Chain A
């Protein structure tokens, strides 16, 4: 599989629980992005990694959100003490250093907080 993989595809959790999502980018891509998308809206930037370094994080993110990319390979996004407002599609994308061909997006993880 040469695409971007995200796991799980769907997650239903109770309010207050912690959740963790995983993204496996295309192996030769050194750039990795996390976005959040709600119904009828465009993707909203969450954070950006270049290799293992987290170079930018949205100010919209509260302290409940954290992301890692150990060894510059896969990445995880954790949400602590989930709230109903966290319900959304969480998208991961990767790209090589030259983004001429744009980002390759995964299919996303749909989070529902009940």
Chain B
């Protein structure tokens, strides 16, 4: 498959709870990005973590990267109804030009 694996496929939580999404990939990467997509709209870049970084924060977002396990996680703290969207991880593999997207995690935050 061209895509990475994301887990879970869907997640439903209450407003105020934390949401964790995981992404696994296959080969060595230069960096890993997370994007959000609201229904029927374009993708919005959230955060980029480079292969030599282990953790990165941006507002309520926390991303970790474990290159030994070829996996990443996105944590959204204190979720809001407006966080309801699909979240995709995307990897830039070494030796190539293309960025490969996963199938996404659909997050639903109930008010």
Name A residues whose Cβ lies closer than 8 Å to a Cβ of B: 33, 35, 40-45, 48, 50, 55-56, 58, 60, 91, 93, 99-108
Could you tell me the distance in whole angstroms from the C-beta of B102 to the nearest C-beta in chain A?
Answer: 5
Chain B interface size range: 20 to 34
Interface residue B88 (Cβ < 8 Å from any Cβ of A): yes
3 nearest A-B pairs in the assembled complex, by CB-CB distance: A102-B45, A42-B101, A105-B42
Interface residue B94 (Cβ < 8 Å from any Cβ of A): no
Could you tell me the distance in whole angstroms from the C-beta of B58 to the nearest C-beta in chain A?
Answer: 11
Cβ–Cβ contact A107 & B42, under 8 A: yes
**Number of cross-chain contacts by CB at 8 Å:** 62
Name B residues whose Cβ lies closer than 8 Å to a Cβ of A: 2-3, 31, 33, 35, 41-48, 88, 92, 96-104
Cβ–Cβ contact A33 & B43, under 8 A: no
Cβ–Cβ contact A91 & B100, under 8 A: no
Identify A48's interface contact among B33, B98, B104, CB under 8 A: B98
Chain B residues with CB under 8 A of A100:
48
